[in-house]
Structure 1
């Protein structure tokens, strides 16, 4: 896709040359500012994308722009935006239902998902496992998480997109392969029994597993699993289960806030940039599955093919899944008791 006002190719080299300067100096003196409220693991992704966008935008328009980032559990972040605690110009959240929650609060208009390509989803992801060197418990698929003595590290499904997707992936691993909903419910109950604690967000779960060495398996976003294993000096390994969920992180301009900040044009341009070849390449390098097929194919070795079921396999859509699983007295409330983290 090409953006009429933006000759990305022509400014890519300039972007790299000035990225450090922009990162250090532009925030205080920039003509425009954006706040990107995102989910927990995307810190590095937007740290890589933001300078490139800022340089391209300034080259094309003559105006400087600075982007601030905010990160936390996806559902937690959506609530903060809805309550006015995070005056986001844009949100880049882990689940479509988290963005839809802002639409229901009147912060985003009808038809928001069609204002950008691919239903406003610039990349996909999934849920995989991280195990310790040699995979001592022989974890290969979802059922192996319930082996005696295995402790599973995963985030709280009430606050974290990773936590919600882990629950949905576990459920779908049962019902998409012929199991009943009763069996799926019991599997989820047993899975949470194997969790010694539930942390609020994805990155905290990764720290508990990879840095503090708690637990035997980390049920993680694919990009987090790649980051953990690639920085572990061989101490951690990634395991792809036989089947997992197609995760669909979603982005949107928060129109109410953008209007207040006079940033609507810049916010839309920023999100459009995520679909350009340059941004899609960064997305792939940072461990997310780009929606551009050619880019994904170039990174197929690192982002291998896996059987991913869509949300429609277990619910009508993401909003139905939110209600069915995560609302008060939903499925999750019937299968787990909140567990405070203990040291």
Structure 2
């Protein structure tokens, strides 16, 4: 099924994002890949001096750290949670927010960004924060659905009208098809793309030898391998490189909503479930005295109210009620598999993406 988006959309447009300050140094944000100009100070009272809002009494403050494309959803979700907490607890909540690449955000939290809640692009990033001693082991069991709040799948984003007739995974290995995807060594999103290619064979009746050959053939058609998903999109749209871009389905939908591009895309029916986890940063919430409100916010993200907002910006909801409500807005997947079915992130990282692993061997064959 081909999906064409014009510069109008059935979904509501997004609004100007909210940003907030942190006490980390300028060097920290630069090292994490965050723009200093995007982190604006919030002032309490009339004095032009940044200060923490009291964690007791009438106000409580928490910090959410997430990856870029979730921002449009959180702009709607956060005011709803704030209103709910005010009504039920009689307390005002201020939720500071930071958005950026998932890997950069992970490094920033480990280096001192005072996150109370992290909602990142893949569990591997959350695991890194756990390994740094900031999140207690077992966080996956602390919230519903294995702490996964959003799902997406890999889409084949093509030039308008899909002139190369790219509809399935197998079309990617046709002679003359030029592919753009980010580098799995540096991009979490690109790891999802790689695993989708691998699973297109192993989860569709093929074996690993056949999968290796297929993925090798695909990467022979890759004409540019940027470091992250944003640079991949820029290469495809701004520089006109390639015939097809491997991308998150929700990214394609959101770009169309924001009027950035006219889009054609295909969603292969055998696909991987791209799962975005959420976790409370235990060490920080205990230090800040914000565990109760942080855990309540995480719980709120699984409610139908919040899940509808994620769905509006292109994520496939994890709440069964909302999933049924919006099922006709998304292409049907006949075979949906997870990272867990491939052995889990630790095994996947070691097998495919560590130095000298399968992806490096594939890259060596391209040189």
Q: Deviations over 1:240-288 (max 9, x none)?
A: 1131101221110111122222222222121111011210111111111
Q: State the partner residue of 1:49.
A: 77
Alignment of 1:1-343 (within 5 A): 27-29=42-44, 31-82=59-110, 84-231=111-258, 235-306=262-333, 307-313=335-341, 315-336=342-363
Distance in 2 between the 1:74 and 1:194 partners? 27
Structure 2: 5+ residue runs without aligned partners? 1-14, 21-39, 45-52, 54-58
2:197/2:215 contact within 8 Å kept: yes
Shift of 1:326: 2.0
Structure 1: 5+ residue runs without aligned partners? 1-18
Shift of 1:289: 1.2
Distance in 1 between the 2:126 and 2:216 partners? 28
Distance in 2 between the 1:302 and 1:26 partners? 39
Q: Deviations over 1:15-47 (max 9, x none)?
A: xxxx99x99999434533322222232221222
| Structure 1, 205-214 or 146-155: larger mean CA deviation | 205-214
Shift of 1:132: 1.5
1:130/1:229 contact within 8 Å kept: no
1:125/1:221 contact within 8 Å kept: yes
Shift of 1:130: 1.1
- Over 6 Å off, 4+ runs: 22-26
Distance in 2 between the 1:280 and 1:60 partners? 21
| Structure 1, 183-192 or 272-281: larger mean CA deviation | 183-192
Shift of 1:115: 0.9
Distance in 2 between the 1:233 and 1:157 partners? 25
Indicate the structure with greater helix content.
1
Q: State the partner residue of 2:6.
A: none
Q: Deviations over 1:99-128 (max 9, x none)?
A: 122222221112211111111112221111
Distance in 2 between the 1:23 and 1:233 partners? 22
Shift of 1:195: 2.7
2:182/2:225 contact within 8 Å kept: yes
1:23/1:51 contact within 8 Å kept: no
Distance in 1 between the 2:76 and 2:236 partners? 25
Distance in 1 between the 2:224 and 2:324 partners? 38
